[in-house]
Amino acid sequence: MAETTTKFPIKKEAASPTVQRDWNPFDSLRREVDRLFEDFHPFGWRSGARGSSLSLGLPAAMSDMAINPAFDVAEKEKEYEITAELPGIDQDHVEIRLNNHLLTIRGEKSESKEEKEKDYFLSERRFGSFQRSFQVPEGVDTNGIEASFTKGVLTVRLPKSAEARQAEKTIPVKAA
C-alpha cells in the first residue's frame, strides 16, 4: 500500500520589526541614585521636591530633630572607658545614671538664633535630645565611676574591681 501524503498549507508570518530604543546603561543607575537622594533625609531635613508642603527645605518638625552622638567604648587594663563627642551640648545638660548595672547617658541640646536687620527678621530655634544605655559588666567598682566633660567630649571611666583585675588569666593553647 502506498502512503498518501497530505500537505497542509503553512502560513508564514512576516517577522515583526524590532523596536529600536535609545538605551543607555547609566539611565537606570541615575534613576536609582536620584531615588536614593530623594529618600535620604539627614536630621529630618527634607528636600523641596518631595518634602514639606511649603517646599522650603526646612525640617518637617524642628522639635523632632534627633541627636545621635557616636560613643566609643574601650576596655583598658584597669578600667572601661566610654567616650562621646557632644558638640554644642552644655555640661549642665548631660545626665548620667546607674541603675541595676545599666549606665544611662542622656543629653539635651537647644539653640536659638535671632538676627534683626533693616529689611528682615530671622529667628531660628533647634533642639533635640539623646539617650544611650550600656550594660555595666560584672567586676566594675560602681562606687568609683567618674565622668568628665572637656571641650565637648564626655568621658566616663568605670574602674575594674581588684578581684576583676586579678581574675584574668592566660590559658595556654595545646597542640591536639
Residues 142-154: pLDDT tens digits?
899 999 999 889 9
Taking the CB of residue 160, how many other CB atoms lie within 10 A of it? 21
Q: Specify whether the CB–CB gap between 68 and 130 falls below 8 A.
A: yes
Do 96 and 143 lie in a common domain?
yes
Structural domain harbouring 42: 26-60
CATH number of the domain within which 149 lies: 2.60.40.790
* Digit-coded pLDDT (tens) for 56-86: 444 444 434 457 888 999 988 899 999 999 8
Q: Is residue 85 in some structural domain?
A: yes
Say whether pLDDT at 9 is over 90.
no
pTM given for the model = 0.54
